[in-house]
Structure 1
Amino acid sequence: MIKKTPVIIWEEKLEFVKNHNKTAIFYEGKEYSYKELIAGAKEYASLLDLVKEEKAVIFMENRPELLYAFLGIWDKKGTCVCLDAASKVSEFQYFIEDCTPKYIFVSNNTYDIAKEAINLSGVQTIVLNVDEIDLSKADKEGIIYAPDREAVALILYTSGTTGSPKGVMLTFDNILVNIEGLNKYKMYEPTDRVLALLPMHHIFPLLGSGIVPLQQGATIAFLKELSSQAMVDALKNYKITMMIGVPRLWEMLHKKIMEKINSNKVIKSLFKLCEKLDNKELSKKIFKKVHEGFGGNIRFFVSGGSKLNPEVSRDFKTLGIDVCEGYGLTETAPMISFTPINQVVPGSAGKIMDGVQVKIAEDGEILSKGRNLMKGYYKKPEATAEVIDSEGWFHTGDLGELKNDYLFVTGRKKEMIVLSNGKNINPVEIEQFILSKTDLIEEMVVIEYNSLLTAVIYPNFTKVKEHRVTNIAETLKTGIIDKYNGSTPNYKKILDLKIVQQELPKTKIGKIRRFMVPALLEGKIEEEKEENIPTFEEYKAISDYLTNLKGKKVMSNAHLELDLGLDSLDLVEFIAFVESSFGVTLTEEVLTENPTVIKIAEYLKENSTSLEIKDVDWKKILEKDNFEGLPKSNSMGKLVKALFKPLFSLYIKIEKEGLENSKVTKPTVFVGNHQSFLDGFIFTQSIDNKTLDNTYFLAKVAHFKKGFMSYLGENSNIMLIDINKNLAETLQCAATALRQGKNIVIFPEGTRSRDGEMREFKKFYGILAKELNADIVPFGIKGAYELFPAHRKMPKSGTVKIKFFPRVSSETLPVEDIVKNNFNEIKEWVDKI
């Protein structure tokens, strides 16, 4: 017997909403019945004098009155134009000038903006404030009928990355094919209670959290306050069965859940077991607490708006919760594909919807046509022709592939990064990989910026505080980005990192607007203006100090590292200034708890007893002996040199120049450029053992944490630096070594080159040499980057060069000149062909 797919038969006059004798909407603790919903919609309709397809705008926040207006417009056969309640005057003015509505529904919250925009536009329209419409006597009953199938039922504006927003004209049949596709798999049931989180000027939430639930006789819960606590309360109080959200929401919830699971070995083992068994009912029982945390009634979640990380989908599935992902655009009303319940394939956007055709173009672009395709852009036939070709195929701009009836979206054509060598990079794949490896990142994008593949990161400041990270950029670079670089081909390596303190620019449903990120980095996005500048003396003193130190405007909420760019040495200076001027010691804990200018100032206001501005006294800081970080022996150092000698004789040859300058007779600071992980070994292979025994290396503790490297660090002449610890202690340790007649090797760029280019030298080595009256011997290395760039697993065979330059006395020149001269001398030699 052949099982037939049920077909929905719609009469010529389409019934859309009828009285189901139950609650239609929850809002602010109040229940609105279907009877009240219909009565409200009919009352609103009675205020309208519309002919078919005349336009009426809805301009308000999510609330029951939004649906009254929506259904009232449809009841009068009008075209509903849903606009963003957060629109600015100029944006709203553009919208109404473009669509010239006969009516505009507003609330108290949007009234002023609407009135100002109307006055500026000169558009003749009637404003209806829903907060002033009396529904106390609304008692009309009946049925809300849908617009005619081919009538334009909706106009929704795309946000667009270039040019002005375009009004997408959707017919009721465009919407109907979505409803039929969902009904085929019984995605919605009359018993469902849907939590509406996203604003309904977008087709995705409008359809999934509004139109379909009402057509099915389900219940909608609106939230007045969009907070995590309000969401949790609503899930439990309203017994929510399904929730629609964007990937950012599911990724945030996933991160919190997995942190708890991974913190308990037993639960983690159970999770791994459930992952292998793939039994939904068993997972629900084992992870009952997770389900109870979501109110205990969830049937499934829905994700759309952009691609969901497959790991998130996979882990929710292991927990016994389906995240049904869909794919489409406003122009496709919105669905091209969606995932039926119990048929989740992580990484996939689901099955192609009935009534829709999809093909993949030669360049990988997803093309679609069918009943869901828009009528066109309102009053923009040229723009319509640009996206719908002569054969009726809509060009989505997304890349994808079809596998076993499932659609996989692999990227966005415009977002693909094409390098000068012709290689294509999908930034989303990189972002998802990195985000899955750390909880220190809230948001990130990968872009090509200044010709370098660059990660732009907005940190998770709560986690930064919890982990007591004081050097965010360096921690992310060495702990996260470098690990990613170690697992990927050279052309996909991230060569630069930018940390920002403000959220990345996004659409209203949380999709990052990549094209705006360069403007954010260049300060072209409007900055927050300082109001009510603090005037208490502690704030004024540190604000003046920081302004002089960094030569830039200081705002009260400026983050010491991210906004003002304080590096480790700057922090040492700042801490010393605070200690000498306020008599207060800023510990790592204090800096982590108080990372902004105003927070530090308030801390000093509470804890200082006096204020007397004094300059930083480096001599006083460095005179304190610190023996803790001094190496105990160099037994491994000499052994490693001997073991590696064949490697640097046969596989990698070293051409040495100026060796006479490496034979020093007094405490010396050796400073060189940092091209590769080979640099330290090249240096040790180039100097004699007597000098080597008397020479200490400054190195990051992160490089000497595990295995052989840990043993090497403990038994060689290596002084380890922790980038999240007070650099003053490291400087004191280095000063102690110089006082004992030792030499120090420093790579003052702070990190290996990511692109072969030299970076600015940090000046702390110059301060050390100056205060301890030590000589400086600059040295240059070239060829090492080409043989062993950052995170190549093994070096190539070839030749490297090292040159020791003549000794420089630190007595006569100021620190800034010493550092500048050393840098220029080395760079000139390194760059010379």
Structure 2
Amino acid sequence: MRKLIKSSNKTAILWNDEKITYRQICFSAERYAQFIPEKTEFISIFAANSPEWIYAFYACWLKNAVPVPIDFTASKEDVVYILDECRPEIIYTDDENLPKLKDALNEVDYSPIIKILTDSPKATGSGNYDPDISYKLEDTAVIIYTSGTTGNPKGVMLSYKNIFTNIDAVSVDVPIFTPKSTVFSILPFHHVLPLMGTVVAPLYVGCKISLCASLKGPDIIKTLKSHKATIIIGVPRLYKMIEQGILNKLKKNKAGILLFRLAKQINSPFFSKTVFKSINKTMGGRVKYLVSGGAALDREVNRNLTALGFSILEGFGMTETAPMITFTRPGEYCVGSAGRALPNLEMKIVNGEILVRGDNIMKGYYKRPDETAEIIKDGWLHTGDLGHLDEKERLFITGRKKEIIVLPNGKNINPERIENKLEKDPVIKEIGIFLKDNIMQAVVLPDLIKIREKSISKIDDFIKSQVIKPYNESVAPYKKIMKLHLIDKELPKTKLGKLRRFMLPELIEYKEKKKTKDFPKTEEYRLIADFIEKQTDQTVNPEDHFEIDLALDSLDKVNLLVFVNSAFGIDMSEEKMMDFHNAKLLSEYCAEEKQKIDPEDLDWEKIIKGDTGHLEIRESKSIVFWKKLSKIFFKIIMKLKVEGIENIPDTPVIFAANHQSVFDAFLLVSEFPDKLIKNTYFYAKKKHLKSKLMSNLANNNNVIVLDIHSDVKESILKLAEVLKSGKNVIIFPEGTRTVDGKIGHFKKTFSILSSELNIPILPAVINGAFKVLPGGSRFPKISKEVNVKFLKPVYPENHTYESLKNLVYDIIDGEIEH
């Protein structure tokens, strides 16, 4: 505490618009300490970050008590476990967390004193004193309970020596923290990284602490800007959020994106800091270091932030090392490395595992001598992490020893390597690999935004064929993933973002069990579930996700919207409906907002033939020119043959074709007479028309744009209006291009329009276009043979939507070269 008082009236904490001095911290800590009984052994703090949290922490040290911070977001079971094990005599909390604390205390057999942080009475006396913390270096300074990735929390006993070893490493040996630093603090203090990195170390060195009161993006930026932080200490999730926020803004500026790409290529800190100086200004203009810990920082996020002019200091450590083992020195940036070891810390790799020995190693686990002996052997802490050192003694982490999956045949699998490889696919938001029933299994949280952009309806099939299958074909048999599970919630993790792999089998078991219970008894649920079951021909469970579990495509969702409107009198957008992504949530919303309950059968005839209102449909101004230009282009790059033009009737017709390449629309019309192409409209997804040029071309060239996120129904009505006016439309029923040359699942938009308007469907078959420009290729392959064939018209009489769709599918599939 003497270290604090020396800075007297210097600002120590920036909290909203308040400036709190070092002297005020000392006085407040002493005030809190006055009401702590002598010989108090343990004091817990169960509260959100605040200046009062810090006062209470230092008050513990003033009274020679051991502070035991407890995660205020932890489960009741974990809180009860911690209280029962260390039995703190006093617990500081705040008003918001008091009910949770009382609930947990009902489960223990003693009654500690509860103090509300903001209610502590003022200290008596003039305040003219020099508060002091008396301690021995080997004394226990704090007990941090670590949730870890397995089992119950363990109390890590850290000594004052452990703490000072860490502080000296980043303030004396490598002066990252200086009295001029302002350290941004957002992570909860009950974790060792923010406690040491954003409270204890800064206050010991004489820095300012910029204390952020909110986890919301705008509040974070506002705090950074107003407090002018120089060091940000965070976890990978925070930096991912910052990176995405910056890149999303850059993408709106072509010059900005070009400069960003150039910065990544030339890899010059000076260039990046100069060019992107304005980005730093939005964060206060003084950010010098981004310190990342808690888990490995994604390499692409690291590269992107570096290209944007930030200096990334990534570290590796554990609660058991208070917390650092290695850290990146300024100027020694290396993507993928966690830096070099702390000064005077011994580190070695034994059988792939990282072992360390030094003054930062914990005293042990509270009341767990056997577990302490398992992790500390002959003075060496066995981290359980796997890694290797390069020639510059930089550490590279490769996985967790405990996470290694041992197969029945004795083979070892590092699941993190598989996850890192598969997570590169944009449709994978999160993935966890685990062993169950003696087979390798994967649980996946899909990225629904990317899924919708690609118009993928059967998510399970897509991920199996386009992600899992290519992976399985590239690895040895024992590394293959044999079973896939899709979920709609984040994977279980620790507070610092590490995957709790041991919970994955339980997660899957719970997902299966919940299908057999808790069926809502309301009329709204029954009607919605019955409707979906009729539409999809599958059993609906209350929490089945519409897209992930039931594979509802854009048209299925429109059908459901129309039903909700007719049955309950609720008019909602497709985007709004996805806020209620299962039958249970949607039925609860309908129960609250319904204007009526009057279920009707879905009547597309009424919708399509009814009044469509004002739907603007433009006629082409230049489509003949673009057809002729594309025809010249096709002659140069491919050998194109078109057959069956004579099969096109004079009446309005719906062209339904398989989708093989980006050229398909113009391949189909390449031999159309000018009059025919002027009367033919295309159906295209909005995502392909993002630029102003493409958008203008679409608006002026007979293109009906589909926004799969919001206006599917309107686009269908536009198609109907075109057909009713005597024009033709071209539809690719797969909704997206093939990724392997095979024909995909057909959506039934075309069969609904055909049936309700009594308009024939002309099946069209494209062969060979996939070979000209396979998925992922940037340039076409020259001189490939491409055939376009128009078949005999199919008429809708005596067909259902489904049977008509299946008939056209079978006709086209029978003509495709397999």
TM-score, normalised by the number of residues in structure 2 = 0.69
Q: Tell me if the contact between 1:280 and 1:318 (Cα under 8 Å) persists in the aligned partners.
A: yes
Cα root mean square deviation, aligned: 6.6
In the alignment, which residue of structure 2 is the partner of 1:688? none
| TM-fit CA distance, 1:40 | 2.4
The equivalences for 1:355-504 within 5 A come to 355-363=344-352, 365-389=353-377, 392-413=380-401, 426-427=417-418, 429-430=420-421, 433-434=424-425, 444-448=429-433, 455-457=444-446, 474=456, 490-491=473-474, 502=489, 504=491
Which of 165, 171, 186 aligns to 2:175? It is: 186
| TM-fit CA distance, 1:452 | 6.3
| TM-fit CA distance, 1:136 | 4.9
AA at the equivalent of 1:114: L
In the alignment, which residue of structure 2 is the partner of 1:95? 82
- Whether 1:566 aligns to 2:556 is no
In the alignment, which residue of structure 2 is the partner of 1:332? 321
Classify 1:704/1:267 alpha carbon distance in 2 versus 1 (closer, same or farther; 3 Å).
Answer: closer
| TM-fit CA distance, 1:337 | 0.6
Classify 1:501/1:288 alpha carbon distance in 2 versus 1 (closer, same or farther; 3 Å).
Answer: same
Instruction: Kindly provide the CA deviation profile for residues 157-191 of structure 1, in whole angstroms up to 9, marking residues without a partner as x.
Output: 11133321111222222222111211211111112
In the alignment, which residue of structure 1 is the partner of 2:766? none
Distance across 2 between alignment mates of 1:86 and 1:56: 18
| TM-fit CA distance, 1:207 | 0.5
Tell me the secondary structure at the aligned position of residue 351 of structure 2: coil
Instruction: Kindly provide the CA deviation profile for residues 519-547 of structure 1, in whole angstroms up to 9, marking residues without a partner as x.
Output: 667764999xxxxx9x9x99999899668
Classify 1:640/1:132 alpha carbon distance in 2 versus 1 (closer, same or farther; 3 Å).
Answer: closer
AA at the equivalent of 1:108: D
Tell me the secondary structure at the aligned position of residue 175 of structure 1: helix
Classify 1:268/1:396 alpha carbon distance in 2 versus 1 (closer, same or farther; 3 Å).
Answer: same
Distance across 2 between alignment mates of 1:164 and 1:702: 50
Which of 236, 240, 253 aligns to 2:225? It is: 236
AA at the equivalent of 2:574: L
Classify 1:267/1:143 alpha carbon distance in 2 versus 1 (closer, same or farther; 3 Å).
Answer: same
Which of 32, 52, 55 aligns to 2:20? It is: 32
Farther-moved stretch of structure 1 (77-86 vs 227-236):
227-236
Instruction: Kindly provide the CA deviation profile for residues 445-479 of structure 1, in whole angstroms up to 9, marking residues without a partner as x.
Output: 1234896656423557xxx8xxxx9667639989x
Farther-moved stretch of structure 1 (338-347 vs 815-824):
815-824
Which of 168, 189, 199 aligns to 1:210? It is: 199
- Whether 1:726 aligns to 2:712 is yes
Which of 228, 231, 237 aligns to 1:248? It is: 237
Q: Tell me if the contact between 1:546 and 1:554 (Cα under 8 Å) persists in the aligned partners.
A: no
| TM-fit CA distance, 1:351 | 1.6
Distance across 2 between alignment mates of 1:406 and 1:165: 31
Tell me the secondary structure at the aligned position of residue 106 of structure 2: helix
Q: Tell me if the contact between 2:182 and 2:231 (Cα under 8 Å) persists in the aligned partners.
A: yes
Distance across 2 between alignment mates of 1:699 and 1:412: 50
The equivalences for 1:37-186 within 5 A come to 37-49=25-37, 51=39, 54-137=41-124, 139=127, 141-145=129-133, 147-182=135-170, 183-186=172-175
In the alignment, which residue of structure 1 is the partner of 2:495? 508
AA at the equivalent of 1:154: V
Q: Tell me if the contact between 1:60 and 1:105 (Cα under 8 Å) persists in the aligned partners.
A: yes
| TM-fit CA distance, 1:15 | 5.9
AA at the equivalent of 2:430: V
Tell me the secondary structure at the aligned position of residue 426 of structure 1: helix
Classify 1:163/1:669 alpha carbon distance in 2 versus 1 (closer, same or farther; 3 Å).
Answer: farther
Classify 1:764/1:261 alpha carbon distance in 2 versus 1 (closer, same or farther; 3 Å).
Answer: closer
AA at the equivalent of 1:48: I
| TM-fit CA distance, 1:216 | 0.8
Unaligned runs of 5+ in 1: 1-13, 436-440, 528-532, 647-662, 685-695, 779-784, 796-807, 828-833
Tell me the secondary structure at the aligned position of residue 355 of structure 1: coil
Farther-moved stretch of structure 1 (142-151 vs 91-100):
142-151
Q: Tell me if the contact between 2:386 and 2:397 (Cα under 8 Å) persists in the aligned partners.
A: yes
| TM-fit CA distance, 1:612 | 7.7
Q: Tell me if the contact between 1:349 and 1:408 (Cα under 8 Å) persists in the aligned partners.
A: yes
Instruction: Kindly provide the CA deviation profile for residues 63-116 of structure 1, in whole angstroms up to 9, marking residues without a partner as x.
Output: 222222222222333322111122344332111111122332223333333333
In the alignment, which residue of structure 1 is the partner of 2:672? none
Distance across 2 between alignment mates of 1:522 and 1:811: 47
Classify 1:524/1:79 alpha carbon distance in 2 versus 1 (closer, same or farther; 3 Å).
Answer: farther
Q: Tell me if the contact between 1:38 and 1:144 (Cα under 8 Å) persists in the aligned partners.
A: no
| TM-fit CA distance, 1:317 | 3.4
| TM-fit CA distance, 1:33 | 2.2
Distance across 2 between alignment mates of 1:313 and 1:748: 38
- Whether 1:291 aligns to 2:280 is yes
Q: Tell me if the contact between 1:39 and 1:141 (Cα under 8 Å) persists in the aligned partners.
A: no
Q: Tell me if the contact between 1:88 and 1:113 (Cα under 8 Å) persists in the aligned partners.
A: no
Q: Tell me if the contact between 1:481 and 1:494 (Cα under 8 Å) persists in the aligned partners.
A: no
Classify 1:484/1:358 alpha carbon distance in 2 versus 1 (closer, same or farther; 3 Å).
Answer: farther
Instruction: Kindly provide the CA deviation profile for residues 766-814 of structure 1, in whole angstroms up to 9, marking residues without a partner as x.
Output: 7678779999999xxxxxx9xx99879999xxxxxxxxxxxx9997786
| TM-fit CA distance, 1:670 | 13
Distance across 2 between alignment mates of 1:755 and 1:376: 60
- Whether 1:259 aligns to 2:242 is no
Classify 1:818/1:148 alpha carbon distance in 2 versus 1 (closer, same or farther; 3 Å).
Answer: farther
How many residues align structurally?
754
Classify 1:513/1:474 alpha carbon distance in 2 versus 1 (closer, same or farther; 3 Å).
Answer: farther
Tell me the secondary structure at the aligned position of residue 31 of structure 1: strand
In the alignment, which residue of structure 2 is the partner of 1:341? 330
AA at the equivalent of 2:18: K
Distance across 2 between alignment mates of 1:564 and 1:596: 16
AA at the equivalent of 1:571: K
Tell me the secondary structure at the aligned position of residue 81 of structure 1: strand
Distance across 2 between alignment mates of 1:357 and 1:819: 69
TM-score, normalised by the number of residues in structure 1 = 0.68
Q: Tell me if the contact between 1:416 and 1:427 (Cα under 8 Å) persists in the aligned partners.
A: no
Q: Tell me if the contact between 1:377 and 1:383 (Cα under 8 Å) persists in the aligned partners.
A: yes
Classify 1:747/1:228 alpha carbon distance in 2 versus 1 (closer, same or farther; 3 Å).
Answer: closer
Distance across 1 between alignment mates of 2:80 and 2:363: 24
| TM-fit CA distance, 1:200 | 0.7
Classify 1:343/1:549 alpha carbon distance in 2 versus 1 (closer, same or farther; 3 Å).
Answer: same
Tell me the secondary structure at the aligned position of residue 209 of structure 2: strand
| TM-fit CA distance, 1:125 | 2.9
Distance across 1 between alignment mates of 2:444 and 2:714: 30
Q: Tell me if the contact between 2:683 and 2:705 (Cα under 8 Å) persists in the aligned partners.
A: yes
| TM-fit CA distance, 1:371 | 2.1
Classify 1:744/1:223 alpha carbon distance in 2 versus 1 (closer, same or farther; 3 Å).
Answer: closer
Q: Tell me if the contact between 1:199 and 1:509 (Cα under 8 Å) persists in the aligned partners.
A: no
- Whether 1:195 aligns to 2:184 is yes
AA at the equivalent of 1:105: Y
| TM-fit CA distance, 1:334 | 0.9
AA at the equivalent of 1:334: P
- Whether 1:307 aligns to 2:296 is yes
Tell me the secondary structure at the aligned position of residue 144 of structure 1: coil
| TM-fit CA distance, 1:202 | 0.4
Instruction: Kindly provide the CA deviation profile for residues 660-682 of structure 1, in whole angstroms up to 9, marking residues without a partner as x.
Output: xxx9x9x99999999x99xx9xx
Percent of matched pairs sharing the same residue: 30
AA at the equivalent of 2:429: M
